[in-house]
Amino acid sequence: MDEQGNKSQEAQQDTLARTYYQHKQHGGLYEARTEADGRINIWPQGGGFSGMLSAEEFAAQFEVAPPPVMRRGTVTADFLDDGQVFSCYSDGSRWNGWGMPLFDKDTALKVAEAIPGITFNEATGVFVVQFEGEEPEEHHPQTIVCDGQPVVVYQIGGGWTWDQVVFPDSSDAATNEGK
């Protein structure tokens, strides 16, 4: 992190390369971190209470989950105008229950038009979020793979209250992109 608390580009990339663990009995997805004392701190993917397990307990209850698959979807949020929906990419991950969409450049520019305080710096290729009274937050391009193709995306608002991403194969797929 820099002196403003912004994540480095490497740290932003790490947020896209998560390993999830699946509970062997009920299949729930979890995230985990090994603490300095060797115990495993584990919590439900998307947020919730965490717990501590010994390495043996962890191995008995959890296994590495298949890697998440990036898909195209749509997302909206209560902080947007009614009916405003954006195309996005997501592997279905959540942050405290909220969606974590990734936007291609064209859609990220539409998001910037819709939300005051977001600008794009053509010279650096970086989106900057700076709300009144807050330090600027930079969002560098990242490359994901969706349907076998590399896609350059930006994780604008990764900790915001985006609704859960809706995928086209679900019955309530949104259709009013960028309206």
The whole model's pTM is what? Answer: 0.71
Q: Are residues 74 and 59 in the same domain?
A: no
- Is 2 domain-assigned? no
Q: Residue 144: what pLDDT?
A: 94
Pairwise pLDDT comparison (123 vs 45), residue with the higher score: 123
Q: Are residues 102 and 122 in the same domain?
A: yes
CA distance 26 to 22: 8
Q: Are residues 28 and 76 in the same domain?
A: no
CA distance 130 to 119: 8
State pLDDT tens for residues 16-39.
457 889 999 988 889 999 999 999
CA distance 103 to 109: 9
Q: Residue 73: what pLDDT?
A: 95
Is the confidence at residue 143, as pLDDT, over 50?
yes
- Is 172 domain-assigned? no
DSSP 106-171: HHHHHHHHHSTTEEEETTTTEEEE--TTS--EEE--EEEEETTEEEEEB-TTTTS-BPPPBPTTST
Q: Into how many domains does the chain fold?
A: 2
- Is 97 domain-assigned? yes
Q: Residue 45: what pLDDT?
A: 87
- Residues 105-130: what's their mean pLDDT? 95
Q: Residue 46: what pLDDT?
A: 79
Q: Are residues 46 and 74 in the same domain?
A: no
Which residue, 64, 88, 106, sits at the end of a domain?
Answer: 64
Q: Are residues 72 and 41 in the same domain?
A: no
State pLDDT tens for residues 54-100.
999 999 999 999 888 999 999 999 999 888 999 999 998 888 888 89
CA distance 170 to 73: 10
Q: Are residues 81 and 148 in the same domain?
A: yes
Q: Are residues 136 and 89 in the same domain?
A: yes
CA distance 86 to 111: 8
Q: Are residues 75 and 114 in the same domain?
A: yes
* Helix then strand then coil, % of the chain, to nearest 5: 15, 35, 50
Q: Are residues 86 and 28 in the same domain?
A: no
Pairwise pLDDT comparison (92 vs 178), residue with the higher score: 92
- Is 163 domain-assigned? no
Is the confidence at residue 178, as pLDDT, over 50?
no
CA distance 175 to 35: 44
Domain span including residue 37: 14-64
Q: Are residues 85 and 58 in the same domain?
A: no
Q: Residue 59: what pLDDT?
A: 95
- Is 179 domain-assigned? no
- Is 173 domain-assigned? no
Q: Are residues 55 and 94 in the same domain?
A: no
State pLDDT tens for residues 119-128.
999 999 999 9
Q: Are residues 72 and 60 in the same domain?
A: no
